A = this chain, B = another copy of it.
Amino acid sequence: MKRLSLPSWIVHYQRQWLSGDLTAGLIVTVMLIPQSLAYAMLAGMPPQVGLYASVLPLIAYALFGTSMTLAVGPVAVASLMTATALAPIAAAGSADYVALGVLMAFMSGLMLFAAGLLRLGFLAYFLSHPVISGFISGSAVLITIGQLKSLLGIPLPSGNAMDTLLALVRSIDQIKPVTAGIGIATLVFLLFARKHLSPLLKRFGIAPKAAELLSRLAPMAAVIVATAFVAATGADRASGVSIVGAVPAGLPSLALPALQWHQMQSLWLPALLISLVGFVESVSVAQSLALKRGQRIDPDRELLGIGAANMASALSGGYPVTGGFARSVVNFSAGAHTPAAGVVSAVLMAAVIAGMTGWFHFLPHAVLAATIIVAVTALIDVAALKEAWHYDKADATSLLLTFAGVLLLGVEEGIVLGVALSLAVLVWRSSHPHMAVVGRVPGTEHFRNIERHRVETLPGLVALRVDESLYFANAQLLENKIEGLLQNESGTRCILLILSAVNQLDTTALGTLTELEKSLASRGIALQLSEVKGPVLDRLRSTPLGQRMKDRIFLSTHQAFLAFAGSPSLSTDSPREA
């Protein structure tokens, strides 16, 4: 019932929030117009599809989502994934292609919404930061390479990044000079604007925050100047500059997408991957912005929000959407207090679609390509690689392999590879546990690694601490370790396993311990346990092994040492030093 009621930001809306929400909504709209046209081009969609995806989804998210500042709509990575999924089954820009994109948004929305109802938000955590970072950076490079053809006005094959680059070198003489001039000029201007426009505006006396926000309007300025240039010079006909052309005016009619079983069968996997990636991207942005204001977001309700946004996109002829990084940050800095800012954007976008689509006629594709390139290169995160490399080589390797996987194998393959790598690293680490033979620190009840510390041991007793849960992939290594220790230490009468870091002990490990205990017993060696955690001990006690060992399980390693020495009042002098 709670979910059907009005969201609390509407119920508790305060008038003083309005100016922030209005300003933010306006600024985001000015960013959204070129971005929605550009990302539609990246997705292989006609321009109006990008515009349609920028209206209802914002309202749907405002009703279901929990982030106060997330800006939903077309984004680069989801657009790339849409193009990748649809390219093999329909011709880019065709009516079939658009219908499939709408269907994919609908399926993705359903999946996300269902996952939200099932409270599966935690699944987002199964993508590790390094994998996400490698995936986003790889996608950004792939997108940049893919946009070179529009930027320079030459036809290049889509697909593998290396092939595209090689084809570029071979057809370098086919570059259309005017197109390339417009594209490169826009690129240089936008790169300059990203770095230097805000300081420049500040020097002209504009308040720092306003300067920061104004600099975000550079893409719109480029669009206006370039459109005016082409309209005035007729460069589209004279020099073959590719332009957006006629964009249908008028709001889209609402309709359920045609659900065809065989199409859904070929789209379910891409829809799942786009849902996963879109959700993870969206939640990370929403979370980092929420933390800055001490707010919380709820991953399960975020699933509902992004799911509703995608279904709304599909109903209004749009393609897959999610929360985007750049627009959300601007929305946040422009003072958005609530999702009302998104509603403002949606209303403004609707007005644009209803009456102003003619203005985009002469907009050159090269400008959109430059917009995309500048937006996505900001996503390439070299710092994350450096940090991971410094902190953890395995994570850095996952990042690099995911990055390479996206570039060399493809977007979908890259993300699947990334997830597989995350899990492989996890399993690999826990399958090679750290184990240390320990002795007592003189005069204390503390036990430490005999190789690192000066400690006391008891002859005949080997105390082994296992620093990992025991389960199928590492149980055998424990047995091997013990057999190895026994070969080096003759005269061992007792093996004491210290299980302070063993949080789980699965059936396979139980089997291995059972066999080990028998095998040791047949050689006259007793197996003992100490510091077994409550939940592990509870289950162990109910097994035949637990029954057999019940007098050999000690609360603390200290007690086990005392028992082995055969005297409850053992002085700290009696054990020999190792």
Residue positions of A touching B, CB distance < 8 A: 122, 125-130, 288, 291, 294, 296, 387-388, 390-392, 394-396, 422-423, 425-427, 429-431, 433-434, 449, 452, 467-469, 471-477, 483, 500-501, 503-504, 506-508, 510-511, 515, 518-519, 522-523, 533-535, 539, 542-543
Do A507 and B391 have beta carbons less than 8 Å apart? yes
Within 8 Å CB of A291, what residues of B?
A: 515, 518-519
Given the interface contacts A392-B507, A501-B500, does A127 sit within 8 Å of B429 by beta carbon?
A: no
* Closest chain B residue to A475, Cβ basis: B125
In the assembled complex, the Cα of A480 lies from the Cα of B302 at a distance in Å of: 15
Smallest Cβ distance from A457 to chain B, in angstroms? 19
Given the interface contacts A469-B430, A519-B291, A542-B390, does A507 sit within 8 Å of B475 by beta carbon?
A: no
The 3 closest A-B pairs by CB, nearest first: A128-B472, A395-B507, A129-B508
Do A501 and B501 have beta carbons less than 8 Å apart? yes
Do B431 and A483 have beta carbons less than 8 Å apart? no
Given the interface contacts A500-B500, A501-B501, does A125 sit within 8 Å of B474 by beta carbon?
A: yes
A-B contact pairs, 28 of them (CB 8 A): A125-B472, A125-B476, A126-B431, A126-B472, A129-B472, A130-B507, A288-B515, A291-B518, A291-B519, A294-B523, A387-B507, A388-B507, A390-B542, A390-B543, A391-B542, A394-B506, A395-B507, A395-B508, A396-B507, A426-B426, A426-B427, A429-B469, A430-B469, A430-B504, A434-B535, A452-B534, A468-B469, A500-B500
Smallest Cβ distance from A429 to chain B, in angstroms? 6
Within 8 Å CB of A430, what residues of B?
A: 426, 430, 469, 504
Within 8 Å CB of A539, what residues of B?
A: 391-392
Cβ-defined partner of A472 (8 Å) among B422, B434, B503, B543: B422
Do A427 and B125 have beta carbons less than 8 Å apart? no
* Copies, count: 2
Do A129 and B533 have beta carbons less than 8 Å apart? no
Given contacts A126-B427, A425-B506, A426-B473, 9 further A-B contacts (CB under 8 A): A126-B431, A126-B472, A296-B483, A387-B507, A390-B543, A392-B510, A422-B472, A426-B471, A452-B534
* Closest chain B residue to A133, Cβ basis: B507
In the assembled complex, the Cα of A39 lies from the Cα of B515 at a distance in Å of: 31
Do B475 and A511 have beta carbons less than 8 Å apart? no
Do A511 and B426 have beta carbons less than 8 Å apart? no
Q: Taking each of A501, A506, A507, A542, which has the highest tally of chain B beta carbons within 10 Å of its own beta carbon? A: A507
Smallest Cβ distance from A485 to chain B, in angstroms? 14
Do A507 and B129 have beta carbons less than 8 Å apart? yes
Cβ-defined partner of A128 (8 Å) among B126, B128, B296, B508: B508
In the assembled complex, the Cα of A237 lies from the Cα of B468 at a distance in Å of: 66
In the assembled complex, the Cα of A533 lies from the Cα of B449 at a distance in Å of: 12
Q: Taking each of A395, A434, A467, A508, which has the highest tally of chain B beta carbons within 10 Å of its own beta carbon? A: A508
Given the interface contacts A468-B503, A500-B501, does A125 sit within 8 Å of B294 by beta carbon?
A: no
Do A423 and B427 have beta carbons less than 8 Å apart? yes
Within 8 Å CB of A515, what residues of B?
A: 288, 291
Smallest Cβ distance from A21 to chain B, in angstroms? 24
Within 8 Å CB of A511, what residues of B?
A: 129
Within 8 Å CB of A434, what residues of B?
A: 503, 535
In the assembled complex, the Cα of A420 lies from the Cα of B434 at a distance in Å of: 25
Within 8 Å CB of A476, what residues of B?
A: 122, 125
Smallest Cβ distance from A517 to chain B, in angstroms? 11
In the assembled complex, the Cα of A468 lies from the Cα of B434 at a distance in Å of: 14
Cβ-defined partner of A122 (8 Å) among B391, B468, B477, B483: B477
In the assembled complex, the Cα of A146 lies from the Cα of B395 at a distance in Å of: 47
Within 8 Å CB of A129, what residues of B?
A: 472, 507-508, 511
Do B422 and A125 have beta carbons less than 8 Å apart? no
In the assembled complex, the Cα of A506 lies from the Cα of B393 at a distance in Å of: 10
* Closest chain B residue to A539, Cβ basis: B391
Within 8 Å CB of A429, what residues of B?
A: 469, 504
Do B125 and A431 have beta carbons less than 8 Å apart? yes
Within 8 Å CB of A422, what residues of B?
A: 472
Smallest Cβ distance from A296 to chain B, in angstroms? 7
Within 8 Å CB of A296, what residues of B?
A: 483
Given the interface contacts A294-B522, A391-B543, A501-B501, does A508 sit within 8 Å of B130 by beta carbon?
A: yes
Smallest Cβ distance from A538 to chain B, in angstroms? 11
Within 8 Å CB of A504, what residues of B?
A: 429-430
* Closest chain B residue to A446, Cβ basis: B556
Smallest Cβ distance from A134 to chain B, in angstroms? 11
In the assembled complex, the Cα of A510 lies from the Cα of B129 at a distance in Å of: 10
Q: Taking each of A394, A427, A433, A518, which has the highest tally of chain B beta carbons within 10 Å of its own beta carbon? A: A427
Q: Taking each of A395, A426, A535, which has the highest tally of chain B beta carbons within 10 Å of its own beta carbon? A: A426
Smallest Cβ distance from A197 to chain B, in angstroms? 29
In the assembled complex, the Cα of A535 lies from the Cα of B396 at a distance in Å of: 18
Within 8 Å CB of A535, what residues of B?
A: 434
In the assembled complex, the Cα of A476 lies from the Cα of B121 at a distance in Å of: 11
Smallest Cβ distance from A433 to chain B, in angstroms? 7
